[in-house]
A = this chain, B = another copy of it.
């Protein structure tokens, strides 16, 4: 199974919040850019708020970054929206047979190996900043405009 598109959408949301000139970026406005339902956006904004990445104004509306874009990594975003009770990327088999030497010990060997893989993935996620995405996107948009 794949990692939820919430992650991809969350990157989109934060990038948009950084780049937009709109004074009050509401869930409806964001949903327009992502092309989905505003409630989907609010759900994800709720998770990003929980992680102290954004603040969301009730009543009058609008969402705003709480940190500078070069102080937000993809790992921060990933952890905020890829909810998983136990933080594990890999699902393990439920209940190997303890009466079999292999079944009784396989998880204690495999789990550390898979944890290391997950760690490598998170290390890579940590290397990419929201500012990097914003910078590359700005450049691409500028180039596109020039060409059209």
A24 and B137 CA atoms in complex are apart in Å by 58
| B-binding segment of A45-53, A54-62, A63-71, A107-115 | A107-115
- A102 touching B33 by the CB < 8 A rule? yes
Q: Does A131 contact B (CB under 8 A)?
A: no
On chain B, the residues within 8 Å of A120 by CB distance are 120-121, 123-124
* Chain A, interface SS category: helix
Query: Contact at A4–B2, with CB atoms within 8 Å?
Result: no
* Structural contact, A3 and B5, CB atoms closer than 8 A: no
Interface string of A92-103 (1 = CB under 8 A from B): 111111001111
Q: Which residues of A contact B (CB under 8 A)?
A: 1-5, 7-9, 11-12, 15-16, 19-20, 32-36, 74, 84, 88-97, 100-103, 105-110, 113-114, 116-118, 120-121, 123-125, 128, 132-133, 136-137, 140-141, 144
A35 in contact with B97 (CB, 8 Å)? yes
Question: Are B106 and A12 in contact (CB-based, < 8 A)?
Answer: yes
| Residue from the set A20, A32, A107, A120 with the largest chain B CB neighbour count within 10 Å | A120
A102–B73 Cα gap in the complex (Å)? 19
